[in-house]
Structure 1
């Protein structure tokens, strides 16, 4: 029912191995993390287009090699406790999930459409190389194109569409993607929309809910999974 957002973003620096460890210690079964490519085409775990917000460096992720990314401190911005934490690779993160028995909701982070094909190909290659169990993996994305390409390359892995908008034709446009789930900003979800999503047979996830007092309302609407920065209090 509970997914740790970017690991456990209120407890440790987001999208780091330390965050995954905190999520595991919270007792949850799922984490959500973001992946994109380094300049040398290695899938790494980071959300933003640039490294400025969550490291001591600067520059675009896609213009820095893995070795350059690994020199950055991705923990001190959060607290001194996590000084020296690095940006993990997708491979490192998959191994950490296997070690801790965690399921992974892997967001394919697309900042430009030309990134779709190389990123999805490298993600699928990495997942298959490690024989990561498909039943413990979910590909998600804001990008229809990325989800369609995931469907082509690795249809065995479930797929979820992420959205922060509520266009009237959204549910019609995602039907061809043969999705498992829909992940929606909890602030725009209402009971009518929730009912429509559930009637399509989709698993309904909301993000990013950090107030446990609101759980009853959302579960009454049929929400199946809550993505939160604070898995420990949920």
Structure 2
């Protein structure tokens, strides 16, 4: 069955990577969500695409200077719409609770932690610990652009399916070697310049293919006809019922 991943939640209806954005998935019949995880100074895993606050909150500065207590004073919703004034940056534990409640499936993108390997390793440990709270019947994929971190995640939690993320600019001919080294089950390529020939090669090598970020229904239809398993999109609410849970 083809998959529609709500990229950072329903990110054109609510501020990205917030509980509001993820909560909207159920009412729109979307079963899969994609989120980004990073770490605070005290080890708290949070949902955030950026490692700074500047773009999606009312504050400025680095995530790596914050603790969990700081989150209560940061508004992650008023930039988007008045309806979301006071929205908070969620912790990963909070998202796990929401996913279990709404019976959603989860793609977790581990961010390439820019504060060094020590914090990256701590991020992996704390993500793995939080995932123990995920109900066993929830489907899960863990992905990353940082293939070293992803390989280490797989070593620590070998039964979790993982996906190597690639931008068009670094999707070189060694992709197969990288997926083998990581022991990945999925490849998640960028949509730009993606061809049927490339997809055929991924599938012939035995990998499942989910493509990001597809915000055009005709392009999504073309990709599905080429055999991709899923697409990440900011406009999940616009996809017709054939792609949604009935």
Distance 1:176 1:25 in 2: 39
1:167 to 166, 169, 172: 172
Confirm or deny: 8 A CA contact 2:179 2:187 kept in the other structure: no
- Report how many residues are paired: 233
Q: CA deviation at 1:135?
A: 5.1
**Secondary structure of the equivalent of 1:40?**
coil
The Cα offsets for residues 107-141 of structure 1, whole Å up to 9 and x where unpaired, read as 0011335132110001001112x254275111110
What is the correspondence of 1:149-160 to structure 2 with a 5 Å cutoff? 149-160=152-163
**Secondary structure of the equivalent of 1:232?**
helix
1:104 to 93, 103, 106: 106
The Cα offsets for residues 80-133 of structure 1, whole Å up to 9 and x where unpaired, read as 1111100000000011000001001000011335132110001001112x2542
Confirm or deny: 8 A CA contact 2:113 2:120 kept in the other structure: no
Using the TM superposition, name which of 217-226 and 33-42 deviates more. Answer: 217-226
Give the unaligned 5+ runs of structure 1: none
**Secondary structure of the equivalent of 1:188?**
coil
Distance 2:137 2:202 in 1: 24
Distance 2:21 2:134 in 1: 23
Give the equivalent residue in structure 2 for 1:143: 146
Confirm or deny: 8 A CA contact 1:6 1:32 kept in the other structure: yes
**Secondary structure of the equivalent of 2:55?**
coil
Confirm or deny: 8 A CA contact 1:137 1:157 kept in the other structure: yes
Using the TM superposition, name which of 151-160 and 168-177 deviates more. Answer: 168-177
Give the unaligned 5+ runs of structure 2: 240-246
Distance 1:173 1:34 in 2: 22
Q: CA deviation at 1:51?
A: 0.6
In the superposition, relative to structure 1, how do residues 70 and 202 fare at CA in structure 2: closer, same or farther (>3 Å)?
Answer: farther
Is the counterpart of residue 121 in structure 1 residue 99 in structure 2? no
Is the counterpart of residue 185 in structure 1 residue 190 in structure 2? yes
Confirm or deny: 8 A CA contact 2:14 2:20 kept in the other structure: yes
Is the counterpart of residue 206 in structure 1 residue 208 in structure 2? no
Distance 2:130 2:8 in 1: 19
Q: CA RMSD in A?
A: 1.3
Q: CA deviation at 1:21?
A: 1.0
**Secondary structure of the equivalent of 2:42?**
coil
Distance 2:143 2:111 in 1: 9
Is the counterpart of residue 196 in structure 1 residue 196 in structure 2? no
Q: CA deviation at 1:71?
A: 1.4
Give TM-score, length-normalised by structure 2: 0.91
Distance 2:221 2:235 in 1: 17
Distance 2:180 2:62 in 1: 34
Q: CA deviation at 1:173?
A: 2.1
